[in-house]
Amino acid sequence: MTASTANAQRFREFKMPDVGEGLTEAEILKWYVQPGDTVTDGQVVCEVETAKAAVELPIPYTGVVHELRFGEGVTVDVGTAIIAVDTDPGAGPAEAPAAAPQEAAADEEAEPQGRQAVLVGYGAAPSSTKRRARKPQPGVPAQPEPAKAALQAELNGRTAPAAPATPVSPAVQSAPAAPAGSAVPAAGRPLAKPPVRKLAKDLGIDLATILPTGPDGIITREDVHAAATPAAAPTEAPGPVAVAAAEPGTVDAAARERRVPVKGVRKATAQAMVASAFTAPHVTEFITVDVTRTMKLVQELKQDPDMAGLRVNPLLLVAKAFLVALKRHPEANAAWDEANQEIVYKDYVNLGIAAATPRGLIVPNIKDAGAKTLPQLASELGDLVATAREGKTSPAAMAGGTVTITNVGVFGVDTGTPILNPGESAILAFGAVKLQPWVHKGKVKARQVTTLALSFDHRLVDGELGSKLLADVAAVLERPKRLITWG
């Protein structure tokens, strides 16, 4: 066994895992260990934030932390080593395998050997065709790099930078000087890739006037951009610079702005909302309903021994009403399979609850919510909200949702036009409950009223079906005894 093999077995690297479903990166939020600390198999060593949630990572080795490869706040690709552990610290000093330098990785990417593995299958085989080097023109010696730069600058109409003196051969000294501003003619058609040719055409640059700097005499994009750059005006000797005084009352806007990188939950939310808004044709319908009886039932349930220790609130009964309505209209609980051009009807309801957390909006869901009793639903709803507020929601808890409820009423908002969670068929917005004048039994009275909004995927849910679904939710909340007669 070689020394390098022994070191590799002794110093084990823990790589960033895919803690979700196909996630590609995660940000290191906090390290719980430092170099020199002893760790055991299964011990949590750090907390990372993926595009879905914050997750604690246990390490599968026992030993002493040798190195933390990345600091807190750094986003790391899945599969990249983040920590090295010495699994045999009693064996004496040894050199741990170092992380591959970026320069080496760049060289490997620039010069691949054989077919390169990718996420699925392998990349294309390298081409066996090689471009022949351009033959030098008779009587024109090869120019060193500084000479090429000077000639390129002249072609672009700029003054060439000073270059170190280079011995000049007599043949070159005796050659007649070219007229100022003339370009060196190229032998044959200039070599350039199609995108570079298009760029030159768009910029109005003649490729024949450009001195190539790429391999084998190929004109690069940089060469074209350099040729398109206007000549710099001759600089004058620096003199006193008059500082323009700012106009009274003007303030630099940049000094009052903050820029925050888009990452983590915010990045995932943005991508999901854009994908949903521009994929599923949304329809939103509204209904205003008297929920006075439901609010009275909430107060009664809080005193019920069967609900002792459970969180009872209006959202619980809205969730139950939504589940009862979906049971009466199961066709609304479906998903659109674009790849197979199929509609997937689901005989279960994973009820998502939109939760605002310090890290942003997340939508965990209660699995098989339609089969749960009211106490069971209250228990799981309470656990779901508490876990979300603590930032401990797992990616699995946010996967597989079928419909969602968003409670905008807690912010005093009457209603909204919610955007579907990707892959789901409907989302119900529950607005604020307010005392309003309402006609009740032929008389105008102060009643507790709310507005519901239902957005649905019009590919799956027709207007009639969506209207009936929303009307049934409102009917249950208006007369909650329907939870028994319809449930």
The catalytic residue positions are 458
Which pair of tokens denotes residue 441?
């039994």
Tell which residue, 19, 48, 44, 37, has the closest CA to residue 85: 37
**Which residues 6+ apart lie within 8 Å of 193 measured at CB?**
218
Backbone dihedral region for residue 119 (phi beyond 0: left; psi -120 to 50: alpha; all else: beta): alpha
**Which residues 6+ apart lie within 8 Å of 177 measured at CB?**
none
CB 56 within 8 A of CB 35: no
- Exposure string for 454-467, b = 16+ CB within 10 A, e = fewer: bbbbeebbeeeebb
Name the residue type at position 117. A
Residue located via tokens 């899945």: 78
How far is 407 from 432, CA to CA, in rounded Å?
A: 8
Tell which residue, 80, 73, 105, 85, has the closest CA to residue 34: 85
CB 183 within 8 A of CB 155: yes
CB 424 within 8 A of CB 430: no
**Which residues 6+ apart lie within 8 Å of 235 measured at CB?**
none
Residue located via tokens 């940089």: 222
Name the residue type at position 161. P
Indicate the angle between helix axes 221-228 and 145-155, nearest 10 degrees.
Answer: 50
Exposed, middle or buried by CB within 10 Å (0-12, 13-18, 19+), for 308? exposed
Integer angstrom CA distances of residue 192 from 132, 150, 221: 14, 21, 9
How far is 135 from 148, CA to CA, in rounded Å?
A: 16
**Torsion angle of the four alpha carbons 201, 203, 204, 210, in this order, in degrees rounded to the nearest 10:** -80
How far is 422 from 425, CA to CA, in rounded Å?
A: 9
Instruction: Provide the pairing of β-strand 75-77 with 25-31.
Output: antiparallel
